[in-house]
Amino acid sequence: MNPQEVALWCALPLAIGISIDALQMIATRGQLAEGGLFGYRVLATGRPMLVDPRLAPVFAGIFRYPAVLGLAAVQLGAASLLLAAATLRAPELVVPAGIAAVVILTSRTLLNLRNQLGLDGSDQMSLVVCVGVAVALLVPDRGAQAVALGYVALQLLLSYSVAGIAKAVSPAWRSGSAMPNIMSTVGFGLPPLGAFLHRHPRLALAACWSVIVLECAALPAILLGTPAALAIIGIGLCFHLSVAVLMGLNGFLWSFAAAYPALLLLAHAVESV
């Protein structure tokens, strides 16, 4: 498997997810203006470096509204380039796509520095994939490319393992009460489904344990090679799709799907060992 080919497969869902996120940011741009939740005058008080007299004018120039929308526009442009490289597969687009990944990484890091709150796991996975894709597309060394994508795959497996272990030690998850309770919240759930699970505790218990087992099994399963990786990807896609539909967490599907091609590369490497 050619790591750069794999990186371009990673770039496809990554670019879609980044584009949706940037468009969502533009759609809610009022929140970035003064008087919005993410107004910069207040946010600047949250980090000493943002009010440092030497750096403050530079940060203010980037982070004040409407200049901050430039970070969304830059991401949209870079994501379009990634998308073109991933679909056209033209060799001359590989390096520009790598640069686009660096641009996305920089923009998102700056936005995280500015906004400070409101981030979730999909933002973190997007950064991880951006790093891996950027290195894989820009460093002309096959070994380094494979290591960069291996990092993406290991972060993916780590995310499932940590989430699975944290659930396995949680009495709420082990007893089966976590899922109906989460689903009963209006913020991240679907109260009718929560009520349904409360009425069917055995189903709730099975649902909780399915999540625990699937998340905990991902890391050891990769030792079984490509068939296991394909199973993780299939189950993972269904899981993240259901999270998007039921909980409204639409970013996870794209950012985690972007890491799956790297998982296949890792499985292939495991098989060859």
Question: Closest separation between CB of residue 218 and another protein, Å?
Answer: 12
Dist. CA 2–CA 266, nearest whole Å: 12
First-to-final CA distance of the chain:
14
Pair 261, 6: CB distance under 8 Å: yes
- Identify residues 60-89 at the interface with another protein (CB under 8 A): none
Residues listed for the chain: 273
Which among 2-10, 55-63, 173-181, 229-237 is the span making contact with another protein, rule CB under 8 A? 173-181
7 binds another protein (CB under 8 A): no
197 binds another protein (CB under 8 A): no
Dist. CA 12–CA 103, nearest whole Å: 16
Question: Closest separation between CB of residue 85 and another protein, Å?
Answer: 21
Q: Write the DSSP assignment of 199-234 as a string of letters.
A: H-HHHHHHHHHHHHHHHHHHHHHGGG-HHHHHHHHH
Q: Which is nearer to another protein, 88 or 121 (CB)?
A: 121
Binder to another protein among 51, 67, 90, 169 (CB under 8 A)? 169
- Structure tokens belonging to residue 218: 């991902």
Q: Which is nearer to another protein, 195 or 206 (CB)?
A: 195
117 binds another protein (CB under 8 A): yes
Q: Which is nearer to another protein, 192 or 227 (CB)?
A: 192
Question: Closest separation between CB of residue 244 and another protein, Å?
Answer: 4
Q: What is the residue whose two structure tokens read 């795959």?
A: 153
Question: Closest separation between CB of residue 246 and another protein, Å?
Answer: 8
Residue (of 204, 195, 192, 189) closest to 248 by Cα position:
189
Binder to another protein among 2, 37, 70, 88 (CB under 8 A)? 37
